[in-house]
Every structure is written in C-alpha cells, then in structure tokens.
Amino acid sequence: MACIPQSFLDSAELMRPLSHIISAIETPFNIYGILLIYYKTPFRMRSMKWTMLIAHISSTISDIMLGTMTIPFVFFPAISGVPLGTLSDIGLNAFVQTFVTVGCIGEVGASIALMFENRQNQAVTSSFKIRTKLGRYFFTIINLTMPFFFMLPVFLQIPDQEISKNNIIKDNPCLSHEFSEYPVIVVTDQPRLVGILFVFITVFYLSQAFVFILHSSWYLCRSAHITNLSQRTKKLQRKYFTAVCIQIAIPLLIIATPVYYFIFSIITDYYNQKLNNLCFLIMSLHGFFATLVTLLIYEQYRLFTINLILCRKQPVLTPSFSNKSTIETTFVN
C-alpha cells in the first residue's frame, strides 16, 4: 500500500499552536455573542432567547474543548488518538477527555433540534406540536442527555491498549510518527460500531430538524390562504423562519462536513492525517461562524454591534405588543 507523504501539516507540532491561536481569537467573540443574546435580545424575541442561548453556549463550549482543553489528534479510521490540550497538561485521563469532548460536540446537534422545535411551537397553531410544558421539558432533557449516552457501548468496552495498537500498526503502516511517540489511546477496536453510532446520532437530530422544518414550512405556506392574518404578519413569519434556517444551516455545514468525512473514513478504512487535522480545526470554528451569522441576520444584534464599534449612542427601542407574530419577528431583517 502506497503511503501519502507526510509533512508539517500532518504533525502535532502544528496542530497544537494553531488550535490555541484559533481558540484565542474566537473565544472572546463567542462570549460576546452569548452576552449579546442574554442582555440585548428584545422583548419581541423572548420566545427564542433561551434556545438561542443554549445553542451558543454549547457551540462555545465545544470550540473551547476542541481548541484549548483537549485538541484531539486522531488517527481515523482507527478509533485512536491523543489529546494535546490543557487537560492533558494537568493530567486528566485521556478517555475521560474523549468522552466529554464527544458529548460536547453532540450538544451542538441537540441545540439545533431545540431551536427548530421552538420555532415550530411558536409559529404553528395546529395540534401537531408538543403542547404541554412537561412534554417540552421531557423533549429537551432527552435531546440534551443523548450526546452523553449514545457512545456508552464503546466506552464500556475499552480494549487492551498494547494489543490494539499493534493491530492498528499492522493494518496501517502509514501512520504518522506521533502514533508511536505519543501516549496514544485506542478507544475501541471496532471502528464500524463507531461509524454506526455516528450515523445514528446524526440521523437522530437531523430527522427531528427536518420534521420541524417541513411542518413549519407547510404551515407558513398554508397561512397565505388564512384570511384572519394580515399580510404583514404573514410576511414577518416567513422572514423569521427563513432567518432561523440560515442561522442554523451555515454553522451546521461547518460541523457536519467533518463528521461526514469521519464516517466515510471509518467505513472505507481511509487514512489521511492532513484531513483528520483539518477536520478538527474546521469543527473548532463552529461557534465563531454561529456567532457571526447571528450578528449578521438579526437586526437588533447587528445594529448594537455596529454602534458599539463606532462608539455611537445606542437607540432606545420600545417594544410593540400588537400581536404574537409581530412581537416575535419584528427585529428580523
């Protein structure tokens, strides 16, 4: 088997400082986004405030874990790697780091499902939605805890490390030198099981999102024929729903593309250290793009940020209470 020539791009020597640089730039920006949502979300957008906060907090934690705390250096398709981050410097067990990091990445998917459920619940008046508070609490708990449970079958069967490492070297003699020189862990010797679990969690969250998107879209199209809604209200409903879709879609693409590559790598047994490193660097930018898209889409946040940069006096906004749809959507541009 012909090996791909290795370079500095394959190395842990590049991965660690580059991850720290990215994290140092994006973390203050992400925290600014969280504070902006918490303090500057207008009353008219109150129904979206907490799901947006959950989404941005989960994205920020995921970025910090990937870019500072753990910095995974993995050897996919083998489910093995070594954390290069701060948590390793203080001696935290590498398996614990891996488990927590996978869970934090999964929380991004959970927050996406919660945001679309919230939008559907607020926009749709039919009975096809979660109507009770208890039901919505149960839905939230299931989605937020799933990322820390779906990989348990793997972490409950940690293989013998020396035997597994020797088998990986035999199967793939092209591994980068870090595999032999660093304290690498092997999470499982059943990579196909991990691939299946990745597919499961991806389908679990995306299927929910698609159901809420399709039903909301159908309802908003149908609302065009409802005479008791004003044209302005109908237009604002559609505009706000479109904004939420864009807000989710662009950052989702940032994190989904590497995940799809990991699934491909595991299933096809394809090894490329450059792509492994690049994918984790891309994933660590998810929160940055989530914050950026939010600032660009929502007029309230965008104007506040522009005025802050230009040292202008912030305008005083008086909320309108004319009707539910207008209250929730006026600030979307």
Neighbour-count burial of 127, counting CB atoms closer than 10 A to its CB (0-12 exposed, 13-18 middle, 19+ buried) = exposed
pLDDT digits (tens, 9 = 90+) for 306-331: 988 888 776 554 443 334 433 343 34
Residues 108, 52 contacting (CB under 8 angstroms)? no
Assess whether pLDDT exceeds 50 at residue 145: yes
DSSP string across 48-84: HHHHHHHHHHHHHHHHHIIIII--EEE-TTSSEEEE-
Provide the pLDDT for residue 314: 64
Provide the pLDDT for residue 130: 79
Q: And the tokens for 295?
A: 């600032």
pLDDT average, residue stretch 114-133:
77
User: Greatest CA separation found in the chain?
Assistant: 71
Residue identified by tokens 């820390």 is: 148
Each domain of the chain, given as residue ranges in start order, spans: 14-329
Provide the pLDDT for residue 95: 94
Alpha carbons 146 and 140: distance in angstroms, whole number: 10
DSSP string across 197-262: HHHHHHHHHHHHHHHHHHHHHHHHHHGGG-TTS-HHHHHHHHHHHHHHHHHHHHHHHHHHHHHHHH
Provide the pLDDT for residue 104: 92
pLDDT average, residue stretch 219-225:
65
Q: How confident is the model at residue 234 (pLDDT cuts 50, 70, 90)?
A: low
Q: How confident is the model at residue 79 (pLDDT cuts 50, 70, 90)?
A: very high
Was domain 14-329 assigned CATH 3.90.1150.10? Answer: no
Neighbours of 222 (CB within 10 A): 11
- pTM: predicted TM-score of the whole model, two decimal places: 0.84
Alpha carbons 70 and 170: distance in angstroms, whole number: 27
Residues 23, 281 contacting (CB under 8 angstroms)? no
Backbone Cα Rg of the chain: 22
Residues 52, 313 contacting (CB under 8 angstroms)? no
Provide the pLDDT for residue 250: 78
pLDDT digits (tens, 9 = 90+) for 249-302: 877 788 888 988 988 998 888 999 999 999 999 999 988 998 998 888 888 888
Assess whether pLDDT exceeds 70 at residue 190: yes
pLDDT average, residue stretch 91-115:
91
Mean pLDDT of the chain: 83
Paired with 74 in beta bridges are 81
